[in-house]
């Protein structure tokens, strides 16, 4: 209804089920259902990443331009994003440099392996058996190196009581979430109590200053009294 008069009964009371919404107020409408908990799970995120990665790759012409999903259990290390005005920016940058150095080492080995496999596939003929054997040995050696790098990562996280690299990333993600909640709570507290806290600090400072002035004056009086007493003697 548009007017109050239209929702009143014969006695002038508001009919049951009706209410007055004042000008400027928002109508109460439940247009969203309860959130599905599945959308908060990491398995759903991984599924969505895989779906959209495959969808994008359908439009890619060259294999070198194809996208891939970061493997948490792989030999590569993820770098961290440095946000604007982040107080730990330098620490994160230094950490990222080490991570990128590690990733470059892995990339070099994997690249040397893409190339050896390609050469092996082109190495045909009965007179090239020796070369094929050499190539396969090199490939196996690089596979062992990459495998050892994966094991090294696992040993590092196990040293700090994690079962796997994936378990470490899960714990790291949870810790980041708690830290962000902590920062939000600090910002909220500062917004509400910041000025009051600053005022209380300034009041305490002024009180201390007054106490110090009183002590100085008292000390001055005592000194003057002692000087007069000496003069009288």
pLDDT at residue 228 greater than cutoff 70: no
| Residue 166 structure tokens | 């994936």
**Least confident segment among 6-20, 179-193, 218-232:** 218-232
Higher pLDDT, 189 or 223: 189
pLDDT at site 231: 47
Report the share of the chain in percent with pLDDT over 90: 2
How large is the average pLDDT for residues 15-23?
84
The separation between the first and the last C-alpha atoms of the chain, rounded to the nearest angstrom, is 101
How large is the average pLDDT for residues 61-88?
80
Q: In the Cβ-directed half-sphere of 137, how many Cα atoms lie within 13 Å?
A: 6
pLDDT band for position 108 (cuts 50, 70, 90)? confident
How large is the average pLDDT for residues 116-144?
85
pLDDT band for position 3 (cuts 50, 70, 90)? confident
139-193, pLDDT tens digit by residue? 888 888 888 777 776 666 666 666 666 667 677 777 777 777 777 777 777 777 6
How large is the average pLDDT for residues 2-14?
86
What are the phi and psi torsion angles at 20 (to 5°)? -100, 130
How large is the average pLDDT for residues 99-119?
85
pLDDT band for position 111 (cuts 50, 70, 90)? confident
Give the start-to-end residue ranges of the domains of the chain: 1-60, 70-161
pLDDT at residue 134 greater than cutoff 70: yes
Please work out, in degrees rounded to the nearest 5, the angle formed at the alpha carbon of residue 176 by the alpha carbons of 170 and 178.
105
Q: Is 27 left (phi over 0), alpha (psi -120 to 50) or beta?
A: beta
């Amino acid at each position: 209804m548009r007017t109050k008069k239209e929702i009143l009964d014969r006695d002038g009371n508001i009919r049951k089920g009706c209410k007055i919404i004042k000008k400027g107020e928002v109508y109460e409408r439940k247009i969203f259902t309860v959130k599905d908990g599945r959308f908060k799970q990491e398995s759903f995120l991984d599924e969505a990443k895989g779906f959209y990665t495959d969808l994008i790759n359908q439009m890619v012409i060259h294999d070198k331009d194809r996208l891939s999903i970061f493997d948490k259990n792989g030999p590569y290390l993820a770098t961290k994003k440095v946000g604007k005005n982040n107080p730990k920016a330098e620490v994160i940058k230094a950490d990222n440099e080490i991570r990128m150095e590690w990733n470059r080492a892995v990339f070099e080995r994997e690249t040397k392996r893409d190339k050896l496999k390609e050469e092996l596939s082109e190495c045909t003929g009965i007179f090239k058996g020796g070369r094929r054997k050499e190539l396969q040995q090199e490939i196996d050696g690089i596979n062992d190196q990459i495998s050892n790098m994966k094991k090294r990562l696992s040993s590092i996280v196990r040293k700090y009581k994690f079962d796997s690299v994936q378990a470490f990333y899960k714990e790291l993600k949870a810790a980041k979430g708690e830290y962000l909640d902590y920062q939000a709570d600090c910002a909220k507290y500062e917004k509400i109590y910041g000025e009051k806290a600053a005022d209380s600090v300034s009041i305490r400072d002024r009180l201390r200053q007054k106490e110090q002035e009183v002590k100085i004056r008292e000390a001055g009086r005592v000194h003057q009294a002692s000087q007069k007493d000496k003069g009288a003697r």
